[in-house]
Amino acid sequence: MSKKTVPTNRNAYIITGPTSGIGRATALELAKHGTVVLVGRDLGRLDEVRKVIEQKGQHAVSVVCDLSDFFSVRRAAAEIIALHLPIVGLLNNAGIMPTRATKNALGWDMTFATNHLGPFALTEALVPHLPDGANVVFIASAVENPEHKPAKAVGFRGGRYISAEASARGEWKPGGSKMPGADAYATSKQANLATAMAFARETPRLRFNALEPGFTPNTGLARGTNVLVHFLLNYILPLLAPFLKYWSTRSGPGAWPPKS
């Protein structure tokens, strides 16, 4: 945690993955509305964002958390609780989409651990400390839907959930994608939706939502893809965007903070 003190009389928002892409842009926007708790795996990268926010006279605090590591998540949750900030929102944004399926230190599928198990554990630890009406948002993705035509066209085949144990082992229903890692990603995003719905049922005093941000090129998500796919995703698709039937924009579904 960064040592600088943060005000305890302003609304606070927690955001995971604020060091890149959608999360970075959202963290800078959230800072206009209150203190931002920046949650990520690299203190140097977190502090770079924190300094940008502080240079504008706004407030942020960095909390180190590797979402693929259960123990790191529990430590981070305890740090956040100890800040005693008036938290009004938690945005579970961080996510990875590796091209091939890999494992974390416990031998669990890295994508399932990072995109689902970590955010689930973080949220579960923080829920008792959130005031009534607080917003909790999970960033989902349309690629979890096997009927989503644009996602299918680029190789996704939708979430392929069998069981939590199978997902943690990196096993999915047959008939999946030829693109290694796509089944892990789509299934983790399916788990995000199920998580949001389960929390909403169990804790009606809070507002749980899952949000599809729309295809957002030039973030770090496609890191690891080959040069051709990287070029297509980041430079060709944005040019074609206005002509694509299924295109969705950040100003639509991705607006944050959500309206109450």
Ligand X SMILES: NC(=O)c1ccc[n+]([C@@H]2O[C@H](COP(=O)([O-])OP(=O)(O)OC[C@H]3O[C@@H](n4cnc5c(N)ncnc54)[C@H](OP(=O)(O)O)[C@@H]3O)[C@@H](O)[C@H]2O)c1
> Contact residues for ligand X (CB under 6 A)?
16-17, 19-23, 40-42, 45, 65-68, 93-96, 114, 139, 141, 213, 215-216, 219-221
Nearest distance in Å: CB 229, ligand X = 13
Nearest distance in Å: CB 27, ligand X = 9
Which two structure tokens, joined as six digits, stand for 8? Answer: 């305890």
Compute the Cα dihedral for 118, 96, 79, 211 and give only its sign: negative
Residue nearer to ligand X on the CB measure, 19 or 123: 19
Residue nearer to ligand X on the CB measure, 84 or 223: 223
Q: What is the Cα–Cα distance from 92 to 103, expressed in whole angstroms?
A: 21
Residue nearer to ligand X on the CB measure, 114 or 123: 114
Nearest distance in Å: CB 9, ligand X = 28
Q: What is the Cα–Cα distance from 12 to 122, expressed in whole angstroms?
A: 16
What's the Rg (C-alpha) of the chain? 18
Residue nearer to ligand X on the CB measure, 66 or 183: 66
Nearest distance in Å: CB 63, ligand X = 10
Nearest distance in Å: CB 47, ligand X = 12
Nearest distance in Å: CB 61, ligand X = 16
Q: Residue 226 CB: number of other CB atoms within 10 A?
A: 10
Q: Is there a contact between 144 and 189 (Cβ–Cβ < 8 Å)?
A: yes
Q: Residue 197 CB: number of other CB atoms within 10 A?
A: 13
155-167 as b/e, with b when 16 or more CB fall inside 10 Å?
ebbbbbbeeeebb
Residue nearer to ligand X on the CB measure, 86 or 254: 254
Which two structure tokens, joined as six digits, stand for 14? Answer: 């927690």
Edge-to-edge strands, sheet with 12-16 = 60-64, 35-40, 12-16, 87-92, 135-139, 207-211
Q: Is there a contact between 102 and 24 (Cβ–Cβ < 8 Å)?
A: no
Residue nearer to ligand X on the CB measure, 93 or 195: 93
